[in-house]
């Protein structure tokens, strides 16, 4: 089992450093600084990762403490490290530098023409439904425009529509259990602030959504990764390792567990009700709050039997559910929500006075209109797009890169690709030169885990899929490859 860790352990960093080639025999501190900078630039050390204390790293690398201290000082001067008294040192990017080539941030519009962007896992809006819903929302706007437009908990029609949709999916819900947020990240941000303190242990799936891992680490949470398992082998559906979850919840009694049971990002895993029940039972015993990310739950494009929402199996009111219009409707609406006890909803609505004060009215009206009037059509539209993309990408991968393995998912937004001996970070970097923007697997892990993986979002059109995979094949092998870790 992985250690309880939110920081890069000396051993993990030493291992990562071992995979970074050095050329000239410069002073030892300069070599170390260069290696760490390379790891950060390639995204193999995530930005915001806490590095070992100087003394510990010196010990692990058999270097003098002065060498490590001078290397850290060099990195600080170059902007690759930030330190705070008492909190240690964290990886960073220099002001003004571009994010690493495999960053999850979108490509600026002026670049997107030349590049196939497989960094961002988000779809275009479903037209003509977005336009129709926006027109209807506009007709409702004057009634809202007569007031000051502040709705800390959300516009009532959207709270009602979201509650109704939860109820349809098998989880009876009232509007006072719903907080409308600025995207799912807005919901997670409020939950993190209200429920977690610096130093709290948080159990997370390994791998998991990159921004969630980074934001939890930035908050000072101590992450406890629980790996997915592939019981049928690497080309069959993954799921939770229930025994390991039980062991972690019993042993670490984490303050919270963050899970994505519905078409997990990035593996695509769809966890069944039995596993959900087992996790909830263990969490109840441990006193652990379960934060369920349902961002992808509506993307069931290849299955007719969806499990009920996790909170529907929750008898102890210990589940906080985060949802989003971002994947099924459109990311440009920036509409998310959080479902919890009404008392927590009211508290979070107060807390957000210090962050965004509320979510724009018009986008809430549009989301309510889409959920109420167009959801079946929108689901069919988006499901068709995702299914076509998934089959086209899978066919291209089997034809052009037959040795790279993946489990074909039943829904969700990505393929999780094992790149065999090839470094995903190096592939992402090489992909950039081929006009293919990629998210390296290491972005979804802690401490350089999943270095031999890539996440392929199902955002490429079927027509572009062969080109995308051809560029991927041209990107690797790269010469920067490293052997996969021993199991």
Q: How far is the CB of 214 from a copy of itself (least distance, A)?
A: 7
Q: How far is the CB of 276 from a copy of itself (least distance, A)?
A: 26
Between 254 and 476, CB nearer to a copy of itself:
254
Q: How far is the CB of 128 from a copy of itself (least distance, A)?
A: 9
CA 15 from centre of chain: 24
Candidates 131, 50, 116, 35; CA nearest to 83 is: 50
Between 182 and 425, CB nearer to a copy of itself:
182
Q: How far is the CB of 280 from a copy of itself (least distance, A)?
A: 22
Tokens 């009532």: give the residue. Answer: 156
Between 330 and 416, CB nearer to a copy of itself:
330
Between 5 and 215, CB nearer to a copy of itself:
215
Looking at the DSSP assignment, which residues form a beta bridge with residue 416?
455
Spatial distance between the Cα atoms of 7 and 350, rounded to a whole number of angstroms? 32
Q: How far is the CB of 220 from a copy of itself (least distance, A)?
A: 11
- Going 204 to 197 to 342 to 186, the CA torsion angle's sign is negative
Three-class DSSP category at 180 = strand
Q: How far is the CB of 332 from a copy of itself (least distance, A)?
A: 2
Sequence length of the chain is 487
Interface residues toward a copy of itself, by CB under 8 A: 47, 84, 93, 95-96, 99, 104-106, 109, 112, 120, 122-125, 127, 130-131, 134-135, 138, 141-142, 144-152, 156, 182-183, 185-186, 189, 197, 211, 214-215, 218, 330-335, 342-344, 346-347, 349-350, 353-363, 366, 459
Tokens 């490429």: give the residue. Answer: 460
Q: How far is the CB of 350 from a copy of itself (least distance, A)?
A: 6
Q: How far is the CB of 156 from a copy of itself (least distance, A)?
A: 7
Spatial distance between the Cα atoms of 246 and 253, rounded to a whole number of angstroms? 10
| Contact residues for 353 (Cβ-Cβ < 8 A; gap 6+) | 152
Looking at the DSSP assignment, which residues form a beta bridge with residue 440?
454
CA distances from 300 to 259, 353, 469 (A): 18, 35, 24
Half-sphere exposure of 10 (CA within 13 A, CB side): 13
Catalogue the E-assigned strands of 408-464. 414-418, 436-440, 453-457
The pair of structure tokens assigned to 330 is 């459109």
Between 289 and 418, CB nearer to a copy of itself:
289
- Going 112 to 117 to 123 to 126, the CA torsion angle's sign is positive
CB-based contact 175:156 (threshold 8 Å):
yes
CA 214 from centre of chain: 9
Q: How far is the CB of 277 from a copy of itself (least distance, A)?
A: 27
């Amino acid at each position: 089992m992985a250690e309880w860790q939110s920081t890069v352990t000396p051993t993990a960093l030493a291992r990562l450093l071992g995979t970074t080639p050095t050329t000239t025999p410069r002073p030892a501190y300069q070599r170390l600084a260069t290696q760490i900078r390379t790891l950060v630039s390639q995204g193999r050390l995530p930005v915001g990762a806490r590095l070992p204390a100087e003394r510990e790293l010196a010990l692990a690398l058999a270097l003098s403490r002065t060498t490590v201290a001078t290397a850290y000082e060099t990195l600080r001067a170059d902007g690759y490290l930030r330190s705070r008294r008492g909190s240690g040192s964290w990886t960073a990017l220099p002001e003004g530098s571009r994010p690493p080539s495999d960053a999850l941030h979108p490509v600026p519009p002026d670049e997107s023409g030349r590049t196939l962007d497989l960094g961002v896992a988000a779809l275009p809006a479903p037209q003509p439904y977005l336009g129709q819903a926006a027109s209807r929302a506009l007709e409702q706007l004057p009634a809202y425009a007569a007031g000051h437009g502040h709705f800390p908990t959300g516009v009532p029609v959207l709270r009602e529509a979201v509650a109704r949709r939860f109820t349809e999916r098998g989880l009876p819900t009232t509007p006072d259990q719903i907080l409308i947020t600025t995207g799912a990240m807005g919901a997670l941000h409020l939950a993190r602030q209200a429920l977690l303190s610096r130093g709290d242990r948080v159990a997370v799936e390994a791998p998991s959504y990159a921004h969630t891992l980074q934001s939890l680490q930035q908050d000072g949470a101590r992450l406890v990764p629980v790996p997915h398992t592939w019981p049928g082998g690497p080309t069959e559906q993954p799921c939770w390792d229930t025994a390991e979850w039980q062991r972690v919840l019993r042993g670490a009694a984490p303050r919270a567990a963050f899970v994505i049971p519905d078409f997990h990002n990035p593996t695509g895993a769809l966890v069944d009700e039995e596993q959900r029940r087992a996790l909830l039972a263990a969490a109840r015993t441990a006193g652990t709050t379960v934060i369920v990310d349902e961002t992808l739950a509506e993307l069931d494009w290849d299955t007719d039997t969806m499990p009920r929402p996790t909170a529907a199996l929750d008898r102890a009111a210990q589940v906080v559910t985060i949802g989003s219009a971002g994947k099924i409707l459109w990311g440009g609406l920036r509409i998310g929500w959080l479902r919890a006890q009404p008392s927590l909803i009211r508290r979070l609505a107060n807390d957000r006075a210090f962050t965004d004060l509320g979510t724009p009215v018009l986008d809430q009206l549009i989301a309510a209109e889409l959920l109420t009037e167009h959801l079946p059509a929108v689901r069919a539209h988006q499901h068709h797009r995702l299914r076509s993309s998934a089959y086209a990408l899978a066919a291209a991968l089997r034809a052009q890169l037959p040795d790279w393995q993946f489990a074909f998912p039943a829904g969700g937004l990505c393929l999780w690709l094992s790149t065999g001996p090839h470094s995903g970070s190096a592939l992402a970097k090489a992909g950039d030169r081929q006009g293919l923007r990629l998210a390296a697997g290491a972005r979804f892990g802690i401490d350089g885990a999943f270095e031999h993986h890539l996440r392929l979002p199902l955002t490429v059109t079927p027509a572009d899929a062969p080109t995308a995979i051809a560029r991927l094949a041209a990107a690797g092998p790269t010469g920067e490859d490293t052997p996969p870790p021993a199991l």
